[in-house]
Structure 1
Amino acid sequence: MPKYLIERKMPGVGMLSSEELRGASQTSNQVLASMQQDGKNVQWVESYVTDNAIHCIYIAPNEEAIREHAQTAGFPADGVHQIRSTISPMTAE
């Protein structure tokens, strides 16, 4: 299944407390569970919180499922990009 990088522009998100981030995570998990019950297999892998954005890695059948999750959860999805490959310092060897 394809893997996606999602950019969520959220000014000031880097200043959220652990409790606020926990609440956002719980909301995301609830929407994902509901989607899975409907037969839509969307998986959240991890997210990186910066000062003004959250960058998320998801596995999903298509971009539409990613956008449905974002809309239902009330999160922005300013950029949704399918990851075509992964490189690292080990790629050079």
Structure 2
Amino acid sequence: MLQMTLIIKGKVQRVGFRYSVVDFVHSEKLPIVGHVRNMPDGSVHVIAQGDIEALKELHRFCTKGPPRAEVREVEQDLIQINKAEFSDFVVLAD
């Protein structure tokens, strides 16, 4: 199992980015667990755990985001983990 961390920069807060990410994961039935949250610096932070194909799909979505978003940069980190730390994929409150 892999864990992917994304830091998404640009106009990504106040545009429904977090909820669109969760909706995408759930609507596509991606086998991903983790969370998405806003950061104080204006970026959005995603931690996702799952298989490589599902994580690639999530990454592709996050490079565009919802219609009102303007993604300028996506930083990615990918590591191997033994087991999932989460049970669902959710939005964390600010």
Report the TM-score, using the length of structure 1 for normalisation.
0.55
Q: Tell me how far 1:84 sits from its aligned partner.
A: 4.7
> Structure 2 CA distance, aligned partners of 1:26 and 1:55?
12
Match of 1:83 among 71, 79, 86: 79
How far apart are residue 55 of structure 1 and its match? Answer: 2.1
- Give the gaps of 5 or more residues in structure 1: 86-93
| Higher percent of residues as strand | 2
The unaligned stretches of length 5 or more in structure 2 are 82-94
> Does the Cα contact within 8 Å between 1:42 and 1:59 map onto a contact in 2?
yes
From 58, 65, 74, the counterpart of 2:57:
65
Quote the RMSD (CA, aligned, Å): 2.9
Paired with 2:57 and 2:64, the residues of 1 have a C-alpha distance of 11
Separation in 1, partners of 2:58, 2:22? 13
1:6 corresponds to which letter in structure 2? L
Which residue does 1:24 correspond to in 2?
17
Q: Which has the larger radius of gyration?
A: 1
Deviates more, 1:69-78 or 1:25-34: 69-78
- Aligned-pair distance for 1:59? 1.4
Number of aligned residue pairs: give it.
75
CA deviation string 1:61-85 (max 9, x = no partner):
1241232332564364612211357
More helix by share: 1
Partner of residue 8, structure 2: 8
Give the secondary-structure state (helix, strand or coil) at the position aligned to 1:78.
Answer: strand
* Match among 32, 38, 41 for residue 42 of structure 1: 32
